[in-house]
Amino acid sequence: MNEQDQLNYTRIAEAIEYLKSNFKQQPNLEEVAEQVHLSPFHFQRLFHDWAGTTPKKFLQYISLEHAKKLLKEQQSTLFETAFETGLSGTGRLHDLFITIEGMTPAEYKNGGKSLTINYSFAESPFGNLIVASTPKGVCHMAFTKNDIMALNELQSKFPNATLQQKLDLKQQNALFIFQNDWSKLPEIKLHLKGTDFQLKVWETLLRIPLGQLSTYGTIAETIGNPNASRAVGTAIGNNPVAYLIPCHRVIQQSGNIGGYMWGTTRKTAIIGWENAKIDAL
């Protein structure tokens, strides 16, 4: 690391510590930039290059984690949580949760208590799977060898939601993909929750065409963070919807198949199956 890089690193580290220590005051861009003696424009660009997100988003993540702790561990009210997080009211708290978590503060506090999730088990060319959906879209899909374990995993993700074994239209449209019915692709709806970075990675995966492959480094470059290959790998590893979000189409730069949450043998089989489909078109 050269002298300039060391200086930049020190500045960003100082800014991160300032945000962590003062998030309740919800400092704006100008205030944080002033702490590290940079113009707001230069600071914004430098922070994004080093932290992989904007100062505003980073502040939102810190605020959200604090709010989640208050709601879950201390059972604070929504008003108390907004006040203790430095937000101007419950409206901003609501917007923060919807933007990042994909659910309201009340839904988070209740562990999805007001959420009804339909789920079903199905067969695919690559083994059995569980697929689950909310009124908004498919929220979970995973290959499984054991239905009970698969259901327990779904329950752990939405501990207080109402689960009912029911095959609905959203699940059917998603499962048609394994029956060579590609006409249903535009009708597949997803209901995802994750950080801005995760959602950006998953959205990029959706753009990888059938029968083609990409690399972790290429994905990182595509989302504007060329040095974030490891973070991209982590986001891919947290993919909540098997196959529909095609993390199986990402391999290592060396050409090695790379890891896969549901096994490298299955990943290889899926890649081969998709290539065969392209050849048959």
Which residue numbers are catalytic? 247
Bridge-based pairing state of the strands 214-215 and 250-251 = parallel
Residue 134's DSSP bridge partners are 137
Chain centroid to Cα 186, Å, comes to 21
Q: How far apart are CA 252 and CA 196, in angstroms?
A: 24
Q: How far apart are CA 146 and CA 59, in angstroms?
A: 41
Q: Strand, coil or helix: what is 281? A: coil
Burial class (CB in 10 A: 0-12, 13-18, 19+), 159: exposed
Residue 131's DSSP bridge partners are 120, 141
Given phi > 0 = left and psi -120 to 50 = alpha, else beta, which region is 37?
A: left
Using alpha carbons, list the distances in angstroms from residue 77 to 85, 88, 103, 144, 159. Answer: 12, 15, 16, 38, 20
